[in-house]
A and B are shown apart, each in its own frame.
Chain A
Amino acid sequence: MATILVDGRACPARMDENLLQACLESGADLPYFCWHPELGSVGACRQCAVKQFSGPDDKAGRIVMACMTPVTDGAILSIDDPQAKEFRAGVVEWLMINHPHDCPVCPEGGECHLQDMTVMTGHARRRYRFTKRTHRNQDLGPFLNHEMNRCIGCYRCVRFYRDYAGSEDLAAFGAHDDLYFGRHEDGALENAFSGNLVEICPTGVFTDKPFSAIYSRKWDMRGAPSVCAHCAVGCNTIVNARQGTVRRVINRYHDAVNRYFLCDRGRYGHGFATTPTRPRTPTTRQDGIPVPVSITTALDRFAAMAARGPIVGIGSTRASLESNFALRALTGPDRFSTGLPQPEHDLTMQVPALLRATPARNPSLHDMESADAVLVLGEDVCATAPRLGLALRQTLRRAANPAADAAKVPHWMDAAVRMLGADTPSPLRVLTPAATDLDPIAATAHRAAPDDIARLGFAIAHRIDASAPDVPDLSETDLQLADTLATALRTARRPLIVAGLQYANAALLHAAANIATALHAAGTDAALSLVVPDCNSMGMALMGGIPLDDVRAMAQAGRIGTLVVMENDLTRRLDATILHDLLAAVPHLVVIDHIATPLAQQADLVLPATALTESGGTLVSTEGRAQRFLPALLPAMPVQESWRWARQLSLATAGTEPDWTDLDQIIAAMAQDIPSLSAVADAAPGAGYRLDGRRVRSEPARISGRTALRAHVSVHDRPLQASPDTPLAPTMEGAYSPDIPGALIPFYHAPGWNSVQSLNRFQQEIGGKMRGGEAGTRLLDGTPHTPPNWHHDIPPPFTTGPDDLLLLPEYRLFGTEELSTLSPPIATRIAPAALRLGTMPAGLENGTTATITLAGEQITLPVRHDSALPPGIALCPPHLAARAFGTPVHIQLRREDAS
């Protein structure tokens, strides 16, 4: 640590940071634009000018840019120096020359960093008396508005989009005061993280388009900490709501997980909860026609059904731990299903065990960023876990650090580090059946069938540790590749292996575990990350249950009276014929869900559940981190949480009454019942948490319209009842400070800092942990290491018959994950379905259609040639077939005749 003098005040500072960070961490107000804690310094905006003195006797000093000046012990600087203040006021005056004075109608108003900085510097009077330049705006697709006239040329957008997130379809055009940040032509931004431009842009150039349609000022919205439900990474979010509707989702900083950025699926996926078809009332079916009924009637119906036979429950990997636990309590553990068909069930159950048994680290996303060799084994993480893919991309930037160290350039000096690292070899190696977004920056991007990738993986493990099993009959090229990759991993200090469940291939997971084990034994600080498909797949793996196949067997044996399916569309899990047989063998089907699924249309009773944004609960992420989400809205009865429905169903049956009524109680009951989930209560403070003796307020102090919105009903203030599940107060009354626990942050605000940049004030150090403590708790840590336990299930080389194809699910950023697909802005981005083939059989060409037969069902699709695919492999979007892809299946292909 160093000490710097800021206007005579001694402040602690770290030697590896710059003066701007040190000043901000000391609590000083120093304005800035182009610097971003995750993007580093480039010195473009010149806003953070301070006066630096060479010693106590230096009275003149020198103006320096704080963001470009490293901390030195004993550095003397002044923010209040008149020359520095004059220069900073000048910079804002220059920035405001062309900036429109449209704050009252600008969606950024009230959370605009430019507004904050303008007020901070004191620029209040316009002296420029000439015309402003104007620009034509572009249509950038369904996610973002573009208003270039507001641009202040800080270059953050292109630095994030190009340098950090790796796409090239957003660029800086023009020069001098006629800069233009946009695409070469109108069109949707291609990058999976484009929505972050909303938070990256310090003013209103890039704003949230879906939010614009249901716009509200930041200060007029309630906020609640939430967790993204659209993959298993578990990005932390803030959900904003007003007048009973969700308005938007923004990033909630978690130092180890998503940090500053969300993917577009997470930011724009929340629209599934407001689809018109969403069930809002209990519905029974009379003569095939759905009839809305009251809760009492619904529960009576259920009681009647339950009286006629045993209940079996099917849980869900997209439902909270609490909801699954409540259903399990209703049916008993033996009659509670994970909702997964056998192969996927088995794989999912294996993952926590694999992670625990492998001595390598189970890394967080932030941890992954500093890996110096990465092997991705058969998983397109950019589609299945996009934010994880972005973290892997950062390994390339980190790889430049040694070159920067050699040139004595600090790591935050972003442009210089990237330039010095231009020759640094990529630490990324990708082995997948199909092309991924990481390929262009990977040192190796190799295409093979999943079994062949697994074989390569086993061979790599053997080359690192000879006691690991070797692979017979490897081809010469595969031998060479295995040697190269083994050397790259073995010589790294922090190698990382990433695999996942995308191709439902157990050998892939086992090969990954073997490599990680071998690397650990070889003395490297190895890490193993296994990507599971859904937001609570890992929670389900820890909870356990029976596979769907057992439910089928019970049904066929006539041992099911009522089947309760919770938040799980079985039409996505099972073949149509199998599902048909299952339902035919079950007298009563009850569906609890918050979306209208094809399964719900066949149910005798549908119970309307809350979406994630309206309820509290816990999800366990792919790294085994239990994270709590809290309601941004209180659901309007009869919509209620699945676990409350399950509790009511328990009451309605003659069984035992659950001894829990609120979230904390069910978590406590779950901890007692399931040892692997005993730490879940630590994920966030419970409803009893008080800050300075008060609940945390979920609405900003400036919220307006509290009584006016209901004035046509009553002009009296209506006290809102706090949810028993959350320590957040439902209104503006309550405590608020930068010391709020990270799991409870409802919104970011600090005096003078109305934008998301106020986050700096909530961190112990910039880019570090939250002052109020980290959100969530890791459940898989702290297991004792065992001697290497090698997996031996090496598959034979992949072959296909002349007419056979291995059909693999093509997991896409948009269109595969169930819930986000229902969100209107995302629905417009779903590419047309196609059958992609590596080798085109005779008679087929691009655009012609072909029919594939899957378990007796015929599916017709247009055909696309994909030269990257290995022979014998075909890809098909799993969402389109709307059926089970638990296991890749061999298919036969038939050309669809023009007739």
Chain B
Amino acid sequence: MNVSERPLTAMIGLPDGPPDCAAYGRAGGWQAVRRALRDMTPEAVIETVTASKLRGRGGAGFGTGQKWSFVPRDPPATRRKYLVANADEMEPGTFKDRLLLEGNPLQLVEGMIIAGYAIQAGHGVIFLRGEYHLALARLNHAIAEARQVGWLGENILGSGFGFEIHVHASGGRYICGEETALLTALEGRRAQPRSKPPFPQVGGLWGAPSVVNNVETLCNLPHIVANGAEWFLSLGLGPDSGTKIYGVSGRVRRPGAWELPMGTPLREIVEHHAGGMRDGYRLRAFLPGGASTAFLDAGQVDVAMEYGAVEKAGSRLGTGLAILLDDRTCPVGMLHNLEHFFAQESCGWCTPCRDGLPWVERLLDAIESGTGEPEDLDRLHDHARLLGPMGRTFCAHAPGAMAPLASGLKLFREEFDAHIRQRACPLRETA
């Protein structure tokens, strides 16, 4: 694969660390922002991005150009607007944004200037996961340098467009990754999601029109603007455009993340890039795109990692970083671990999520530790049924938590029964 086929990571992993402004420019950076600010109207930028069919890389996969198009366009100059980069990467098993943030922060800066120009926002905010200390240092350094060189500030390139970027290191709650809770947290209040409407594009940060985009989404923008929508469309193997940073964690030989064409089959990622399963372990099942996607069976490993195909298989592409379950790890234990995370990270705003998830966690804990009762499975099914569909709870946190549970209850029925029958975890000793 040559450099133009992995645009996002081409400058990452160089011996001197992340490029500075000059090196970034020598390697092809700043072309896109020059083109956008000098030769393109904001509408033209939105049109190009819409034509590229770029979909949000944070997990929901919403069309980026479409999202921007909801931002009110009049009156453009007088109204406060915000662009927010969602860098609160807290999904278990997901570490793709970290790669981009630490490896090439200026790529994000350039992407944000382009997005800010497209929606005519004067201010950009990067909401960064609190534990990403190295990313914080590198971002602050990159932003300071960009400001000094003139890529940030008033009247960039004499275009009349001004843009500033502020970095906010999160206090550390998973719910801050939810775009409306992120905005509430940025305002200095409890990180609770907001009801929609109003959508953030109309009433977001401090009530002003705001767009929240994932880091990987924003990093794609310089390449789309520089090389055109047609080029971006040609990168994908199937219906989805561009490349994607895929990753694998679990008992593989080389866990990691790789930039690959959209639609690469998971089998290729696992066997070719991650080096296959470690000796003595067989693939049992996998979460294709992070902790809040449904389990797929080992037999579905040939699924193309693109939005439609994964959905057709019964799950979601999510963040595109798969977590593998092997045959020697207890699936009930894994579910307990996942639900512990979701229960703990519930913001406490709505009843079903706040009080339902801890009940699920305790049921799984009881089953895993050998004190499960047959009715416990009914309760787990109740929760999967009552909390699973969207709209029952205030935000998507609980449905996300129920995705692995509902699929796991089906897929691992025998293991659940064995736990309750034997009053112990059958896999405890072999693990």
Contact = CB atoms under 8 A, between A and B. Distances in A.
B338 interface: no
Interface stretch (B54-62, B88-96, B315-323, B357-365): B357-365
A422 B204 CA distance: 11
Interface in B88-144: none
B301 interface: no
A44 interface: yes
Size class of B's contact patch? 35 or more
A732 interface: no
Nearest to B378: A127
A416 B392 contact: no
A153 interface: yes
A508 B352 CA distance: 55
Interface in B370-395: 375, 379, 382, 386, 389, 391-394
Contacts of B392: 46, 49, 63, 87
Given A43-B195, A43-B394, A128-B359, A177 B354 contact: yes
Contact of A172 (B190, B208, B386): B190
B386 A86 contact: yes
A21 B192 CA distance: 25
Contacts of A178: 348
Contacts of B345: 175-176
Interface in B164-190: 173, 190
Contact of A45 (B351, B359, B366): B351
B343 A176 contact: yes
A178 B357 CA distance: 12
B351 A422 contact: no
Contact of B346 (A46, A91, A175): A175
Interface stretch (A406-414, A705-713, A825-833): A406-414
Given A177-B354, A407-B198, A420-B198, A64 B348 contact: no
B386 A155 contact: no
Contact of A153 (B194, B206, B351): B351
A423 B207 contact: yes
A607 interface: no
A416 B203 contact: yes
Contacts of B354: 94, 153, 176-177, 179
A44 B349 contact: yes
A45 B393 CA distance: 9
Nearest to A174: B348
A422 B195 CA distance: 16
A177 B356 CA distance: 9
A46 B206 contact: no
B358 A177 contact: yes
A415 B362 CA distance: 33
A177 B190 CA distance: 15
Contact of A179 (B348, B375, B386): B348
B411 interface: no
A441 to B, nearest CB: 16
Given A64-B391, A91-B351, A155-B349, A176 B203 contact: no
A409 B197 CA distance: 7
A97 interface: yes
B341 to A, nearest CB: 11
B197 A416 contact: yes
A242 B346 CA distance: 46
B243 to A, nearest CB: 37
Given A87-B392, A97-B355, A43 B379 contact: no
B50 to A, nearest CB: 24
B352 A175 contact: no
A556 B216 CA distance: 92
Interface in B246-291: none
Please indicate which of the listed interface residues B344, B347, B359 has the most CB atoms of chain A within 10 Å of its own CB. B359
Contacts of A174: 348
A152 B354 CA distance: 10
A62 interface: yes
Nearest to B204: A419
Contacts, number: 118
A419 B352 contact: no
Contacts of A548: none
Nearest to B190: A172
A352 interface: no
Interface in B322-355: 343-352, 354-355
B202 interface: yes
B206 A422 contact: yes
A80 B375 CA distance: 27
A176 B346 contact: yes
Given A62-B391, A179-B348, A419 B362 contact: no
A419 B351 contact: no
A127 B348 CA distance: 21
Nearest to A173: B190
A421 to B, nearest CB: 7
Interface string A579-623: 000000000000000000000000000000000000000000000
Nearest to A91: B351
A415 B206 CA distance: 12
Contact of A419 (B80, B207, B379): B207
Contacts of B389: 63
A75 interface: no
A175 B358 contact: no
Interface in A130-182: 130, 152-153, 155, 172, 174-179
Contacts of B195: 42-43, 68, 413, 415-416
A68 B379 CA distance: 28
A98 interface: yes
A546 B362 CA distance: 77
Nearest to B355: A94
Contact of B362 (A47, A130, A175): A130
B352 A90 contact: yes
A95 interface: yes
Contacts of B393: 46
B207 A94 contact: no
Contact of A127 (B366, B379, B391): B379
A403 B80 CA distance: 14
B362 to A, nearest CB: 5
Contacts of B194: 415-416, 419
A547 B351 CA distance: 62
A55 to B, nearest CB: 18
A176 B344 contact: yes
Nearest to A424: B207
A64 B345 CA distance: 24
A471 B363 CA distance: 77
Given A63-B389, A176-B358, A407 B351 contact: no
A176 B355 CA distance: 8
Nearest to B183: A419
Contacts of B190: 172
A416 B346 CA distance: 21
Contacts of B358: 97, 176-177
A64 B392 CA distance: 7
B365 to A, nearest CB: 9
Contacts of B357: 176-177
Interface string B190-232: 1000110110001100111000000000000000000000000
Contacts of B359: 94, 97, 128, 130
A407 B202 contact: yes
Contacts of A423: 80, 206-208
Contacts of B348: 153, 172, 174-179
Given A90-B356, A175-B346, 6 more contacts: A43-B195, A46-B350, A47-B351, A98-B355, A153-B355, A176-B348
Nearest 7 pairs of A and B residues by beta carbon: A94-B355, A422-B207, A176-B346, A407-B198, A130-B362, A420-B203, A177-B358
Interface of A: 42-47, 49, 62-64, 68, 86-87, 90-91, 94-95, 97-98, 127-128, 130, 152-153, 155, 172, 174-179, 403, 407-409, 413, 415-416, 419-423
14 contacts: A47-B351, A63-B392, A90-B352, A91-B352, A94-B351, A94-B356, A176-B354, A176-B357, A407-B203, A409-B198, A409-B203, A416-B194, A416-B197, A423-B206
